[in-house]
Amino acid sequence: QVQPVESGGGSVQTGGSLELSCVTPHSSLCMAWFRQPPEKEREAVAAIDMYRRTSTTDSARGRFTVSRDYAKNTLYLKMNGLQPEDSAMYYCAAVRPTVVGGDWRCPPLAVTSYTYWGRGTQVTVSA
């Protein structure tokens, strides 16, 4: 059983920074961050594969950086230049990779691709 556990959320002013963390029991996982603003659907933010290759959605590109520390079984999301529209519950998600021709493959960055979900950490950005 994989239960991601997020931390690092909080309240900041516009232009501020936060770093979210997510711990899992092991690191042999494809990992991603999603967020869900109030009364809106959950949306993708960024993902990282087994080779530390990353993908970031348009809303986060240039401001948010996803990374992982294999030794600590920890996923990070460094967020700079936060705006009020970034206010949301942020979720860490994980899924086991598939092996294709000896390579670890991760699924597309989408809510339906990920199996294991944390309970979320709240980020609030005030104007």
pLDDT value of position 1 = 80
2 pLDDT band, cuts 50/70/90, is confident
Task: Say if CB 68 and CB 52 are below 8 A apart.
Answer: yes
- Model confidence pLDDT, tens digit, residues 17-67: 999 999 999 999 999 999 999 999 999 999 999 999 999 999 999 999 999
Tell me the average pLDDT of the chain: 96
What distance in Å separates the CA atoms of residue 62 and residue 78, rounded to the nearest whole number?
11
